[in-house]
Amino acid sequence: MTWFRREKTELNPADKAESRLRTEGLWSKCDQCRNIIWKKDLEENQHVCPRCGSHFRLGARPRLALLFDESGYQELDAGLFSTDPLSFTDTKAYRHRLASARSATGLQDAVITAEGRLDGQPVIVCAMEYGFIGGSMGAVVGEKITRAVEYAENRRQPLIVISASGGARMMEGAVSLMQMGKIAAALARLDEAGVPFISILTDPTTGGVTASYAMLGDLNLAEPGALIGFAGPRVIEQTIRQKLPEGFQRSEFLREHGMLDAIVERKQMRATLIRLLAFCRPRAEAAPRPRAAGRS
Amino acid sequence: MNMADLPSSSNPAWQRVELARHPQRPSFLDFVRELCSDFFELHGDRRFADDEALVGGIAAFRGRQVLVLGQQRGHDIKERIRRNFGQAKPEGYRKALRLMRLAEKFHRPILTFVDTQGAYPGIDAEERGQAEAIAFNLREMARLRVPVVATIIGEGGSGGALAIALANRVLMLENAIYSVISPEGCASIMWRDPAKKETAAAALRLTAPELLELKLIDEVVPEPEGGAHNDPARAAAWLGEALERTLNQLDAAADLPGQRYQRWRRMGQFFDETA
Ligand SMILES: [Zn+2]
């Protein structure tokens, strides 16, 4: 299996790509409560403000480390990289943006897909990296997540996707757009196979990522206070020419409008997933295609 | 050809953007009138409302009973406002899925016609789950057991276009455009200058021949000289031939969801792997 590259597990790496933190040496300022927090306190608190509970953005690697068992995880398809299908250049060439993102994050693209165990149970987890071009989805993110869906189906292991993304990657044009269809089509098969898919939406999850896999979980969970939507707030403000109400497109707003099963604090996420997966067990055997009877 | 028809730009991608949005360009319902008989419109998502931006109904097309669906931008300002300029809300996408399942139940092929700047970006659309409505359509269209053929007839704007275009075959009129973002939106985000829209249009490779080369669409349907608006009847006749031929091919396909999956699984193989 050439695609199956096992790499040394990193359990607790420093997260360079983490944003929203205004770091001045050892101190950070919380955007929510404006308190100055000792960085070490923040790290020990899983990057949740110890004063007000605000959830800071978190990179893909520390996320995976928080979820998996202590035995760690193995990355899947870690070597895939974009070949710049449009030879796109705006004020800067896309291939240079890719190179900067690679050196800033140590990743080839905006998602890590991994296998490992959660409370002893084998699971496939995809974690998006907002620090890599805003977590945007191009052909590599689309392919890696589609393969992760297929691994989950073939091995009958639950799939968990942690989204943090501004949406489709403009620099890959319609190639990015089609990834929405590709992943959604793979998720239809996973659904038919009776394998659970839990979607975790974190700050921010917008655009083509929300409008494809992030909203298609058997269960959709979100961290508190995350920006979640289809259109970005700026686009909506320009369209309707008025200020948006406080709390619009935040997790609590989405739950109120019926789009989320639950809002789960970061510190409770692992225990919550274990609880939910005790109910959502992969069905023992694949149902024959075409799909199982009973769906109208 | 009069002066108004002369392109305002020397940028070929932008010329196509202007043709795709031409005020006289045939709309979805114009194509339905030319291509089909006995069109009967079906309204509503049975949950919230009837979205007039996205129209659906049953029709007879060259000896077949088919379901037709598409965004309708409207010709005059009154119709445009009524149809929200072809920008559908969640209820529009949910109506579309309801009708597609109706077609599946009665083994009728589905023809969709895409012409939208995008799904509506507004407070009410977000409240009712615009993202969920689009995502759900993508997943459910993937497993429909009847033939689905999508045609991009004007503007194919992002997820709001894709939400009715997860088809077995995707056709595109010669002067239509299909993109992840409008050239204007791309220019203001990437160049921070809306005036760069023509440059952005070229960079996005949103024209039919370019998308065919990227293997993202299956066929480019030619238009009459100067664009479909110069001879709507002929444009419709050429599209009708392509659609009939495509449906005949899909009649022979044994596993339509399987064919559709393989088609979408191949989308965008633009990556390599480090050793
Ligand atoms: Zn705080």
- Within chain A, all domains assigned CATH 3.90.226.10 are found at 58-279
Q: Do A91 and B191 touch (CB under 8 A)?
A: yes
Q: Compare A9 and B100 and report the one with higher pLDDT.
A: B100
Q: Do A240 and B101 touch (CB under 8 A)?
A: no
Q: Give the three-class secondary structure for B152.
A: strand
In B125-226, which ranges are E strands? 148-157, 169-173, 177-179, 219-221
Least confident of A235-239, B36-40, B262-266: A235-239
ipTM of the predicted assembly exceeds 0.90: yes
- Under the phi-then-psi rule, with left for phi > 0, alpha for psi from -120 to 50, and beta for the rest, what region is A226? beta
Q: What is the mean pLDDT of each run of 10 residues along chain A (296 residues)?
A: 35 43 73 92 95 96 97 97 97 97 97 98 98 98 98 98 98 98 98 98 98 98 98 90 92 98 98 98 71 45
Query: Which of A177, A188, A259 comes nearest B180 by C-beta?
Result: A177
CB B167 within 8 A of CB B217: no
User: What pLDDT digit, counting tens, does each position of B63-75 carry?
Assistant: 999 999 999 999 9
Q: How far is the CA of B52 from the centre of ligand 1 (A)?
A: 45
Tell whether the torsion through CA atoms of B224, B230, B231 and B237 is positive or negative. Answer: positive
Mind telling me how many Å the CA of B180 is from chain A's nearest CA? 5
Write down the pLDDT at residue B5: 55
Mind telling me how many Å the CA of A69 is from chain B's nearest CA? 28
The radius of gyration of chain A from alpha carbons, rounded to an integer in Å, stands at: 19
Q: How far is the CA of A30 from the centre of ligand 1 (A)?
A: 5
Burial class (CB in 10 A: 0-12, 13-18, 19+), A71: exposed
Q: How far is the CA of A224 from the centre of ligand 1 (A)?
A: 13
Write down the pLDDT at residue B163: 98
User: What pLDDT digit, counting tens, does each position of B129-183 carry?
Assistant: 999 999 999 999 999 999 999 999 999 999 999 999 999 999 999 999 999 999 9
Chain A residue numbers touching B185 (CB-CB < 8 A):
235
Mind telling me how many Å the CA of A22 is from chain B's nearest CA? 24
**Spatial separation of the C-alpha atoms in residues A290 and B258, rounded to whole Å:** 9
Write down the pLDDT at residue A10: 41
Chain A 125-144, residues with CB within 8 Å of chain B CB atoms: 138-140, 142-143
Computed over every residue of chain B, the mean pLDDT equals 96
Q: How far is the CA of A36 from the centre of ligand 1 (A)?
A: 8
Write down the pLDDT at residue B9: 83
Q: How far is the CA of A56 from the centre of ligand 1 (A)?
A: 9
Preferred mutation among B112, B114, B132, B141 to probe A, highest tally of A CBs within 10 A: B132
Write down the pLDDT at residue A183: 98
Q: Is residue B1 part of a domain?
A: no
> Which residue reads 């060259």 in tokens?
B62
DSSP per residue, chain A: -TT-------SS---TT--S-EEETTEEE-TTT--EEEHHHHHHTTTB-TTT--B----HHHHHHHHS-TT-EEEESTTEEE--TT--BSSSBHHHHHHHHHHHHS-SSSEEEEEEEETTEEEEEEEE-TTTGGG-B-HHHHHHHHHHHHHHHHHT--EEEEEEE-SB-GGGHHHHHHHHHHHHHHHHHHHHTT--EEEEEEEEE-HHHHTTGGG--SEEEE-TT-BB-SS-HHHHHHHHTSPPPTTTTBHHHHHHTT--SEE--HHHHHHHHHHHHHHSPPPSSPPPSSPPTT--
Q: What share of chain B in percent tops pLDDT 90?
A: 94
Q: Give the domain range for residue B85.
A: 17-249
Query: Which of B129, B130, B268 comes nearest A142 by C-beta?
Result: B268
Q: How far is the CA of A37 from the centre of ligand 1 (A)?
A: 8
Write down the pLDDT at residue A286: 56
Query: Which of B178, B192, B271 comes nearest A143 by C-beta?
Result: B271
Write down the pLDDT at residue A12: 40
Residue A231, chain B, CB below 8 Å: the answer is yes
Q: What share of chain B in percent tops pLDDT 70?
A: 97
Q: How many residues does chain B have?
A: 275
CATH code for the domain in which residue B194 is found = 3.90.226.10
pLDDT band at B7 (very low <50, low <70, confident <90, very high): low
Mind telling me how many Å the CA of A236 is from chain B's nearest CA? 5
Write down the pLDDT at residue A16: 43
DSSP per residue, A250-275: BHHHHHHTT--SEE--HHHHHHHHHH
Chain A residue numbers touching B179 (CB-CB < 8 A):
173-174, 177
Domain A58-279 has CATH 1.10.10.10: no
How many CA atoms lie within 13 Å of A192's alpha carbon, on the beta-carbon side?
21
- Under the phi-then-psi rule, with left for phi > 0, alpha for psi from -120 to 50, and beta for the rest, what region is A155? alpha
Q: Domain tally for chain B? A: 1
Q: Is residue B262 part of a domain?
A: no
Q: Is residue B199 part of a domain?
A: yes
Chain A residue numbers touching B148 (CB-CB < 8 A):
none
Tell whether the torsion through CA atoms of A263, A264, A266 and A270 is positive or negative. Answer: negative
Mean pLDDT of B229-235: 98
- Under the phi-then-psi rule, with left for phi > 0, alpha for psi from -120 to 50, and beta for the rest, what region is B129? left
Q: Is residue B75 part of a domain?
A: yes
Q: Do B135 and A212 touch (CB under 8 A)?
A: yes
**Chain A: residue whose CA lies nearest to B135:** A212
DSSP B235: H
Write down the pLDDT at residue A13: 41
Chain A residue numbers touching B197 (CB-CB < 8 A):
none
Chain B residue numbers touching A245 (CB-CB < 8 A):
123
Query: Which of B158, B179, B264 comes nearest A185 by C-beta?
Result: B264
Q: How far is the CA of A34 from the centre of ligand 1 (A)?
A: 6
